[in-house]
C-alpha cells in the first residue's frame, strides 16, 4: 500500500501554502522534504496527517492509528515523565499495557533514553526531547511516519542517533516523510522533494536531483549578479540561466547549489 498526496493545493486565506503537489510514499522509503522558511514543508506534512484540509486534490493516508507524527514542537507533555508520555500515546493508539511497556523498553534502549525514563519531559535536553518525540511517534509501529524537522536544534551526535532511528523505522516497513533544513540529511533520503513558496521545485531521488540543474553554477569571488549569488565558504557561487554566458569557473553543483539554483530558476520563470 502506498500513501501520499495527489495534486494537493492548500490555501490559507489568499496565500497558496501548497500548489498542485503530488507525492508518493512507499513502505520502507524515506522521503526528505526540503525548502526554506515558508516553503510549505510543514503544510505538506500536516495535510498528510489530516491536520490541514486541502482546497483541492486528494490525500491517501492510513487510518489515524497507523500514522506516527512528530510535530515541529516537542510533541511531548512537559509534566509527564518519559515513560508516562510513551504510555499515554501507546494506550491512545490501542496498545495494551504490556505491549506499551515492551515497546517502550525497546524504543528507549534504541534511543539511548533508558536512563531517563523517569525524568519529566521538561527536564530533558532539546535533543533528548526530540528523540522522545520520535519514540512517541513510532511507539505503535505506524505504517506512515511523518516527522517535521526532527533534527532541528539537535546536536550533531543526537542527529546521528535520530537518523539511525529513522533508518530502523523504515527498515521495519514504515513509509517515512520528513522535513529538514539540513541538506546533508536530505541527501541520505531515498527521495527528495524541494519546495519553494508552496511550489514543487524538484521531486526525485538525490542523484537525479543533482543532475536536474537548469543552467550553470559557477564559483567566483566577484558575482556579476549578486541577486543570483550565494556565499559558499570564502567564495561565491552564482547561477546562470540557460542562454546566458556564465562568468566564472563552472563547477559540479552539490545539492545546496541545485536547490538554490532551482529556486532562482523558478523565480526567474525558467522551466526545469
Q: Are strands 235-240 and 175-180 parallel, antiparallel or unpaired?
A: unpaired
* Element spanning 118, H or E: none
Q: Check residue 2 for interaction with other proteins (CB under 8 A).
A: no
Told to check if 77 binds other proteins by CB under 8 A, we report yes
| Shortest separation between residue 49's beta carbon and other proteins, angstroms | 5
Check residue 125 for interaction with other proteins (CB under 8 A): no
Q: Which of residues 38-57 bind other proteins (CB under 8 A)?
A: 49-57
Cα torsion angle, 23, 20, 266, 241, sign: positive
Check residue 241 for interaction with other proteins (CB under 8 A): no
Write out the DSSP string of 131-199: HHHHHHHHTT--SEEEEESTTTT--HHHHHHHHHHHHHHHHTT-EEEEEES-HHHHTTSSEEEEEETTE
Q: Nearest to residue 239, comparing CAs of 210, 259, 261?
A: 261
92-121: which residues touch other proteins (CB under 8 A)?
92-94
Among residues 64, 126, 226, 242, the one that binds other proteins under rule CB under 8 A: 64
Nearer to other proteins, 76 or 179 (CB): 76
Cell of 93: 493508539
Which of 16, 59, 230, 270 is the binder for other proteins (CB under 8 A)?
59
Q: Which is nearer to other proteins, 52 or 124 (CB)?
A: 52
Give yes or no for residue 27 binding other proteins (CB under 8 A). no
Question: Does residue 13 touch other proteins according to CB under 8 A?
Answer: no
Amino acid at each position: 500500500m502506498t500513501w501520499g498526496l495527489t495534486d494537493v493545493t492548500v490555501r490559507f486565506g489568499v496565500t497558496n501554502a501548497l500548489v498542485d503537489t503530488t507525492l508518493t510514499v512507499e513502505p520502507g522509503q524515506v522521503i526528505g522534504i526540503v525548502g526554506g522558511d515558508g516553503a510549505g514543508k510543514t503544510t505538506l506534512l500536516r495535510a498528510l496527517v489530516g491536520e490541514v484540509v486541502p482546497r483541492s486534490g486528494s490525500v491517501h493516508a492510513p487510518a489515524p492509528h497507523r500514522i506516527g507524527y512528530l510535530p515541529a514542537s516537542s510533541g511531548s507533555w512537559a509534566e509527564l515523565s518519559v515513560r508516562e508520555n510513551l504510555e499515554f500515546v501507546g494506550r491512545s493508539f490501542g496498545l495494551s499495557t504490556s505491549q506499551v511497556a515492551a515497546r517502550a523498553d525497546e524504543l528507549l534502549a534504541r534511543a539511548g533514553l533508558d536512563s531517563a525514563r523517569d525524568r519529566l519531559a521538561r527536564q530533558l535536553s532539546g535533543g533528548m526531547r526530540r528523540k522522545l518525540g520520535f519514540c512517541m511517534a513510532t511507539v505503535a509501529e505506524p505504517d506512515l511516519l511523518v516527522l517535521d524537522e526532527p533534527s532541528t536544534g539537535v546536536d550533531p551526535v543526537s542527529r546521528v542517533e535520530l537518523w539511525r532511528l529513522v533508518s530502523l523505522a523504515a527498515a521495519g516497513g514504515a513509509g517515512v516523510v520528513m522535513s529538514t533544513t539540513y541538506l546533508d540529511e536530505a541527501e541520505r533520503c531515498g527521495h527528495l522533494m524541494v519546495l519553494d513558496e508552496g511550489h514543487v521545485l524538484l521531486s526525485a531521488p538525490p542523484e537525479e536531483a543533482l543532475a536536474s540543474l537548469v543552467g550553470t553554477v559557477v564559483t567566483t569571488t566577484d558575482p556579476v549578479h549578486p541577486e543570483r549569488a550565494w556565499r559558499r565558504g570564502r567564495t561565491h557561487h552564482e547561477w546562470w540561466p540557460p542562454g546566458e554566458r556564465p562568468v566564472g569557473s563552472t563547477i559540479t553543483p552539490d545539492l545546496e547549489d541545485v536547490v538554490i539554483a532551482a529556486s532562482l530558476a523558478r523565480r526567474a520563470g525558467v522551466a526545469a
